[in-house]
Chain A
Amino acid sequence: MDPRLSIIEERLKDVKRVIAVAGGKGGIGKSSVSATLAIVLARAGHRVGLLDLDICGPSTHVILGIKGVYPTEDKGIVPPLVHGIRFMSIIYYAGDNPSPIRGADISNLIIELLTITRWGSLDFLVIDMPPGIGDPTLDVIRFMKRVEFLVVTTPSKVAIETVRKLVKMLAELGIPITGLVENMKMPSSLGIGQSLEPLGVPLLGGIAFDEGLEQAVGDVEKLAESCFAQELTAALRRIIDERGGESHV
């Protein structure tokens, strides 16, 4: 028996909501959404954790300009508090090096991270997921019983097609989907509402392509004030305004 599996739920017992930010493919701004959501939640007064599970391409630390901080050891690993966020990522251990990890080892690494990390008491744990429905997505579903998914897509047909598969799988497994966010919305786009409507997932809102976002990478102040953050806040108003004391059903 793997002794790690008995402890993951225990690690999350004081976390009120676990929100996995996922998408069907790469390059849709999933990491920007995760990182910005964490910042917006922290600034709204919530206790927030951010877990970067994009093992082969972690990037939330770049978006948030996180460097020079490390977890501390205290009967496990306590993630450092940066910009008001408890931040955990493979980068503490892999540094700037590539992490060529695959298959069962990806699962082992995710189990390990979930086992050693002591989040403490949180209102929200935001997880930046790698794209698609591979091992990490299945692992998160397997090990984090209370996870809900926030699905990100762009108006591109390819992105919508892949997100449709993700949503279908989540629905089949009975995993709650908080809703869809349309990123890089273009003025001409008809909106993805229609094309994804049959799936029955609520479209929470759209975020226009923000040219200023690239300028804000690595600068939390700029990021928090960007149009991107404002539109994301509008789209996720219901989540962000949730009273800390209320439990999620």
Chain B
Amino acid sequence: MHEWALAEGVVATAIKVAEREGLREITEIRVKIGELQQTDMEVFEFALKEIVRLQSALLRRARFLFEHEPAVLKCRVCGTEWAFKDALKKLDEEQSESIHFLPETAHVYVRCPNCHSPDFEVTKGRGVWLESISGEK
């Protein structure tokens, strides 16, 4: 996913949760980031800072903690499992860029190393997940 969209999503979701839980201030946001979309952390953190700056006091002091999850692919046809980073080595810049914007286009460019099928699932490392939000009531 694009870093700015991702950052907006994280902040909007955190605010929703804070409102639901009646938090006066958010102190910590834990985000799990899948490797598949090759998020540029520098851009992502910059975007987060910019977006938080425009927000109310709710998020001003919030600390972001990131956990990175390597992506694992599993072939639905022959059961082979392989690491996305191995697949990535075989892609050119344009293909890898496409996956960065739309991770599912991995199915367009990546094939099972054993049987060449495009029919695989991303068992780990897809998506971005808001793991937890802590704050003060």
Contact = CB atoms under 8 A, between A and B. Distances in A.
Interface size classification for chain A: 20 to 34
Contacts of B107: 99-101, 105
Interface residues of B, number: 32
A239 B83 CA distance: 50
Contacts, number: 100
Given A3-B6, A99-B108, A113-B102, A108 B1 contact: no
The B contact surface, by secondary structure, is helix
A94 interface: yes
A101 B9 contact: no
A215 interface: no
B5 interface: yes
Nearest to B8: A7
Contact of B102 (A2, A6, A109): A109
B9 A90 contact: no
Interface of B: 1-2, 4-6, 8-10, 12-13, 16-17, 31, 47, 98, 101-105, 107-109, 118-119, 121-122, 126-130
12 contacts: A2-B13, A6-B9, A6-B12, A10-B8, A93-B108, A100-B108, A100-B118, A101-B104, A108-B104, A108-B127, A113-B102, A116-B5
Interface of A: 1-7, 10, 73, 75-77, 90, 92-95, 97-102, 105-106, 108-109, 112-113, 115-116
